[in-house]
């Protein structure tokens, strides 16, 4: 009986040490698919915004600074992301800026290169409520992501 009681105490001690380590891992594993789904939706919205800006430019010989003008049905502000647009000479930047500290933000760029447009999609390297740096286009027409962002396949 004493041996059995000692085994039980050891099992309880091990469980007490392991469970705090195990539960955060399990919680993170369950949270990760949700985060990826939310980020994937934001990424897709920015891709669609880039495409809509290209169409808008063809039809209006200019870009729009209004998310609603793109007619995509995207709400400008959601629980997870704020969608916005910055226009500059010969380019437009479409943003999905995270409203959550654990989500990454995106920026899409549409650039005029002669009579054609070029697009790029970039992701903030760090998570958080950080507006990504604007992508750039050099004099040779090569587009690149801005500081602290990485190019994402579209």
What pLDDT, in 10s, does the model give residues 14-57? 544 444 444 444 443 444 667 788 999 999 999 999 999 999 99
Where in the chain are the domains? 2-151
Structural tokens at position 69:
């003008």
pLDDT number for residue 21: 45
What CATH number is given for 2-151 in this structure?
3.30.700
Query: CA 14 to CA 113: how far, in whole Å?
Result: 64
Which residue from 57, 65, 66, 72 is spatially nearest to 119, judged by alpha carbons? 57
Q: Are 116 and 56 in contact (CB under 8 A)?
A: no
What pLDDT, in 10s, does the model give residues 59-105? 998 999 999 999 999 899 999 999 999 999 899 999 999 999 999 99
What pLDDT, in 10s, does the model give residues 94-139? 999 999 999 999 999 999 998 899 999 999 999 999 999 999 999 9
Beta bridge partners of 121: 108
- Residue 144 — φ and ψ, nearest 5°? -150, 155
pLDDT number for residue 22: 46
User: Alpha carbon of 153 to those of 46, 119, 120: distances in Å?
Assistant: 12, 11, 9
């Amino acid at each position: 009986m004493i041996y059995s009681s000692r085994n039980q105490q050891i099992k309880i001690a091990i469980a007490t040490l392991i469970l705090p380590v195990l539960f955060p891992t399990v919680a993170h594993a369950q949270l990760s698919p949700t985060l990826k789904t939310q980020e994937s939706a934001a990424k897709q919205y920015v891709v669609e915004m880039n495409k809509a800006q290209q169409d808008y430019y063809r039809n209006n010989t200019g870009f729009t600074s209004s998310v609603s003008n793109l007619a995509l049905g995207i709400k400008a502000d959601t629980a997870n992301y704020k969608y916005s647009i910055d226009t500059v000479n010969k380019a437009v930047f479409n943003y999905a800026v995270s409203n959550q500290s654990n989500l990454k933000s995106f920026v899409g760029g549409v650039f005029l290169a002669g009579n054609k447009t070029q697009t790029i999609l970039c992701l903030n390297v760090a998570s958080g409520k950080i507006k990504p740096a604007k992508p750039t286009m050099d004099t040779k027409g090569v587009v690149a992501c801005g500081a602290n962002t990485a190019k994402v396949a579209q």
